[in-house]
Structure 1
Amino acid sequence: MRVVLAHGWGFGPDLWDAVASFLVGYDICRLDNGYFGGRRIGSPKEAHILVGHSAGVMEALLTPASGRRGLLSINGFPRFTQAATYEYGTPMRVLTRMQAAFVRDPDAVLRDFRARCGVTGDWSGAPDARRLGDGLAELATGDGRAGLEACPVVALAGRQDTIVPPTLTDAAFARHHVDWISDGGHMLPLTHPQACAESIRAFHARACATI
């Protein structure tokens, strides 16, 4: 069964380089939102499990689940902003300010966001402001909670994540199993790639066992 890797806002498929190095022999496909000039690659329709990081989870839940046998969330969420029944989300005003600043200076907003995630230095490829802007709009208003019932879901999260804090993870995945990394922040695929790979292998094995 194919393992499909989906990155979140402000990153690209190279996010998964270290994780993939621990998954030799697995059939892996990396999606690409084209934020840095890459060709946009969508989810395959054949049987697969989807592993999403951050906003990649919400985006997966907003798309048809054809062929999807399971979803593993890493630092992810079905909805990012607050709603009437989702009080632990990020206040909408935070995203509104971010969107306004992005219109004025996309590079500065992107750099600041990545720094808050714990990632410094330049990115590879030229940022595509249009696609990044569209992704930011979806981050502000997207709600994939209904999609959580379409297939088995497991979450991997960091107790030190300041972008998706534990309160948001607990609220978002209240009906699903969550594995915690006590010293993990928001970038588990970069800081804890082996732990991510172990979660993927375990989830993949369970999904294959149900075929």
Structure 2
Amino acid sequence: MHLEIEGQGPDLVLLHGWGLRLEVWDALAGRLRGRWRVIRADLPGHGRSRDRTELNAETLIPALETVLAGPAHWIGWSLGGLLALQLSERRPEWFECLGLVACNPCFAQRPEWPGVTPEVLEAFTAGLKETPEATWKRFLGLTAQGDNQREVLRALRACAGASMPAQAALAQGLALLAQEDARGAAMRLSAPVHWLLGGADGLVPAAVADAVAVLTGPDTVTRIDGAGHAPFLSHSLLFNQWLDACLEA
């Protein structure tokens, strides 16, 4: 798995979401590398890890354990947050704190939990088989919904590059989102957890903010009204304020 490491200081691990790659964190890494040792990963099947198509928490462990100097601060976006929650169950000693951005610990809707409907997930799964590149681009469009939509979509397309991730890895990522329920992991996490959710997210319903507040406490949840699925792009000032508070807590 491809990793990029820059800067000096405590370890800070950044995990991107479905269909993207580590370049989505370029601006953030540039801002933080003066105070942190920033570790960015291309998830299996994505970016320069495109030849590694087994996408799950277990496949991240060998690469990360060779570079982590001790307990780290973690930021996981969307699918990256779900993988971080899985890792927190397998390697709890790795976590100093965990920031979860636009992350629903139970992405698929359940009778008692807000999420993406089974019909939408099934449509994405079918679309990935039939028209993979169009489905990937549709996802980027949903990610950009909310304030500053045009600018966010332009930034996402630029960092995503011209070639879509490996189709097998995208399919595994969709299956993980459809099946995983990490609510228990969030409640069992011994390190501090901080959620950042967007009020206009096209993939994580606004009601998730209230739902996760029940899991880990209302003081762990921040919501940005008008933000979509990529608040670090659409509302960078508010995102950076939230991030600094998480890292300095």
Query: What TM-score range do you get, normalising by the shorter chain?
Result: 0.7 to 0.9
Query: SS state of the match for residue 71, structure 1?
Result: strand
C-alpha offsets along residues 77-103 of structure 1, whole Å, 9 cap, x if unaligned?
2110022432x1211221112101111
C-alpha offsets along residues 48-79 of structure 1, whole Å, 9 cap, x if unaligned?
01111112111111222331121111111211
Aligned to 2:147: none
Query: SS state of the match for residue 110, structure 2?
Result: coil
1:179 pairs with one of 200, 222, 241: 222
The alignment's C-alpha RMSD in Å is: 2.0
The number of residue pairs the alignment matches comes to 205
In structure 1, distance between residues paired with 2:203 and 2:111: 20
1:51 aligns with 2:75: yes
TM-score by length of 1: 0.87
Which segments of 5 or more consecutive residues in structure 1 lack a partner in the other structure? 207-211
1:8 pairs with one of 5, 9, 17: 17
Query: SS state of the match for residue 204, structure 2?
Result: coil
1:115 pairs with one of 132, 141, 160: 141
Percent identity among equivalent residues?
28
Once the two structures are overlaid, the 10-residue window that deviates more, 34-43 or 17-26, is 34-43
Instruction: State how 1:80-95 maps to structure 2 within 5 Å.
Output: 80-86=107-113, 88-95=114-121
- Deviation of the 1:200 alpha carbon: 2.4
- Deviation of the 1:125 alpha carbon: 5.5
CA 1:37–1:19: 2 relative to 1, 3 Å: closer
1:124 pairs with one of 152, 155, 161: 161
CA 1:90–1:3: 2 relative to 1, 3 Å: same
In structure 1, distance between residues paired with 2:240 and 2:30: 9
In structure 2, distance between residues paired with 1:54 and 1:153: 15
In structure 2, distance between residues paired with 1:205 and 1:37: 31
In structure 1, distance between residues paired with 2:169 and 2:93: 24
Which segments of 5 or more consecutive residues in structure 2 lack a partner in the other structure? 1-9, 53-58, 145-152
1:62 pairs with one of 82, 86, 90: 86
Aligned to 1:137: 175
CA 1:7–1:36: 2 relative to 1, 3 Å: same
Instruction: State how 1:94-109 maps to structure 2 within 5 Å.
Output: 94-109=120-135
TM-score by length of 2: 0.75
CA 1:38–1:173: 2 relative to 1, 3 Å: farther
- Greater relative contact order: 1 or 2 (C-alpha under 8 angstroms, separation 6 or more)? 1
Instruction: Answer whether contact 1:59 1:144 (CA < 8 A) is retained.
Output: no
Aligned to 2:5: none
In structure 2, distance between residues paired with 1:77 and 1:66: 23
